[in-house]
Amino acid sequence: MSVATHRHLPVFKTRFSTRMIEERVRALGREVTTHYRRCEEPLIVVGILTGSFVFLADLVRHIHVPVQVEFMGASSYGNETTSSGDVSITRLRGFPGRWARTNATGRHVLVVEDILDTGRTLQEIQRLIEKEDPSSVEVCTLLNKHREDALAEAKWVGFRAPDEFLVGYGLDHAGQYRNLPSIGVIST
Ligand code: IMP
Ligand code: MG
């Protein structure tokens, strides 16, 4: 490979290692389990697509109460690294006007998010779920940028995120890097 080509290869710098993530996710699972241990009906765990799919898959395996897993599609970034401000939420195909197979009325709902930034995505999603009059709606996010003006908050947070654009473990930049097992930044 020529030197010129090599210079343009992106460099990945780890911020949260696989090991750190594993330990933290296990601890979050324990806390969530304790909180919902008296639930009478399965906890509805809603993953926000696409970023949360890796985190959710690991987290639910550390939640030891019955769960029902659902996904809701949301996107606010497009291909940019700053929020576009518009949140679009996709509905469940084949279930007109619905975001899940079952109604959340009287149920406990746990929203699982990869990263909380402006909180606009979560605010929209919480609004949608609240319409169904659930018993409770809580949020578990792997990362939180802890912005002072955030529009939503999370009950459970994995890590405080540095003020950088992170990729890996489900997080993408323009659709790429979700499969990296750790979380870090890409520099070119
Ligand atoms: P919010 O609506 O501004 O809170 O944005 C939340 C969504 O933006 C998350 O679900 C992520 O998909 C995306 N996002 C925010 N920050 C980052 C980042 O640093 N890396 C990758 N995606 C991010
Ligand atoms: Mg994203």
* 7 alpha carbon – ligand 1 mean position (Å): 28
CATH number, position 166: 3.40.50.2020
Structure confidence at residue 6 (pLDDT): 59
Structure confidence at residue 158 (pLDDT): 98
Q: Write the secondary structure of 68-107 as one string of H (helix), E (strand) and C (coil).
A: EEEEEEEECCCCCCCCCCCCEEECCCCCCCCCCCCCCCCC
* 180 alpha carbon – ligand 2 mean position (Å): 14
For the beta carbon of residue 175, count every other beta carbon within 10 angstroms: 8
* 70 alpha carbon – ligand 2 mean position (Å): 18
* 41 alpha carbon – ligand 2 mean position (Å): 31
Q: Say if ligand 1 is within 6 A of residue 115 CB.
A: yes
| Residues in the chain with pLDDT values less than 70 | 1-7, 75-87, 91-97
* Residue 160 domain boundaries: 3-77+84-187
Q: For tokens 């949360």, what's the residue?
A: 52
Distance of CA 42 to the CA centre of its chain: 20
Assess whether 117 carries a catalytic annotation.
yes
**Domains: count for the chain:** 1
Q: For tokens 């409770």, what's the residue?
A: 136
Structure confidence at residue 80 (pLDDT): 58
Pocket test for ligand 1, best of 12, 15, 76, 89 (most atoms within 8 A of CB): 76
What kind and span of H or E run contains 109? strand 108-116
Structure tokens at 21: 């993530």
Q: Which of 58, 114, 117, 172 is catalytic?
A: 117
Atom of ligand 1 minimally distant from the CA of 119 = 4
Q: Are 85 and 32 in contact, with CB atoms under 8 Å apart? A: no
DSSP 3: H
Sheet containing strand 67-75, strands side by side: 88-90, 67-75, 43-49, 108-116, 136-144, 156-160
Distance of CA 108 to the CA centre of its chain: 18
Q: Say if ligand 1 is within 6 A of residue 15 CB.
A: no
